[in-house]
Amino acid sequence: MTKGAQLYEGKAKKVFETDDPELLIVSYKDDATAFNGLKKGTIRGKGVINNKMSNALMRYLEKKGVPTHYVEELNDRDTVVKRVSIVPLEVIIRNIAAGSFSKHYGVEEGRVLKIPTIEFSYKNDDLGDPLINAYHAMALELATEEEIDTIKKYAFKVDEELKKFWESCGVTLVDFKLEFGRLSDGTIVLADEISPDTCRLWDSKTGEKLDKDRFRRDMGGVEDAYQEIMKRLEEHI
């Protein structure tokens, strides 16, 4: 499988065409941004880690019954995925209060939520990815009711499976963001990535942050945290 024309360059990945119209190649960069691109930097080795981690977790989730866009890892940074049209919603699941949830609702970071929560953001950089509810999403024709039901079902299944998996690695899955896409026949599949860029992962014993919050919050030790979380994954997957 060879890379064709570049279709798109995002903040953390590039996307290329292939000779098969149903397949694309995603290429992971070391670039990191936060706060809608206001903060920019590089996390050395991040692209390799995010590529390998996302692929390993998607293969794991496929086995547990969650369909994904994953096809084949080509090398350290490049992966073949199914071409999808992305549903323009960021789907966020939370098990523990942190980040914007703590800020919006005045809840201390680290409070275990009585039940996992789901929220949607409208994927639109110009608007700063505002929170949106399911009715808004349907009214704006971002997704149908049936698609939203499917997305919710898969998102909670991902939470259930990944919570268990990370627990076996001594890591607490605090929250994460997913994106879904439609295949050419309309089937909804999990797309984008699952990585320390898109999840909050805390060491279960010490509470140490092993994710992108170290970059967002200028905590230092960013590269080491990415290496450490990858090591834990490789030891247990």
Chain contacts with ligand TMP (rule: CB under 6 A):
92, 98-101, 175-177, 198-200
d(CA 53, CA 18): 23
Q: Which is nearer to ligand TMP, 10 or 186 (CB)?
A: 10
Q: How far is the CB of 3 from ligand TMP (least distance, A)?
A: 26
Q: Which is nearer to ligand TMP, 74 or 118 (CB)?
A: 118
In DSSP notation, 119-145 reads EEEE--GGGT--EE-HHHHHHTTSS-H
Contact present, 36 and 91 (Cβ < 8 Å): no
d(CA 235, CA 221): 21
Residue-wise over 178-199: b if at least 16 C-beta within 10 A, else e?
bbbbbbeeeebbbbbbbbbbbb
Q: Which is nearer to ligand TMP, 1 or 86 (CB)?
A: 86
Q: Which is nearer to ligand TMP, 3 or 163 (CB)?
A: 163
Q: How far is the CB of 49 from ligand TMP (least distance, A)?
A: 15
Q: Which is nearer to ligand TMP, 69 or 200 (CB)?
A: 200
Q: How far is the CB of 176 from ligand TMP (least distance, A)?
A: 5
CB-based closest residue to ligand TMP = 99
Q: How far is the CB of 118 from ligand TMP (least distance, A)?
A: 12
Contact present, 45 and 168 (Cβ < 8 Å): no
Residue-wise over 30-57: b if at least 16 C-beta within 10 A, else e?
bbbbbeeeeeeeebeebbbbbbbbbbbb
Q: How far is the CB of 198 from ligand TMP (least distance, A)?
A: 4
d(CA 152, CA 7): 29
Q: How far is the CB of 187 from ligand TMP (least distance, A)?
A: 24
Token couple for 234: 């490789």
Q: Which is nearer to ligand TMP, 43 or 98 (CB)?
A: 98
Q: Which is nearer to ligand TMP, 27 or 121 (CB)?
A: 121
Q: For tokens 């450490």, what's the residue?
A: 228
Q: How far is the CB of 101 from ligand TMP (least distance, A)?
A: 6
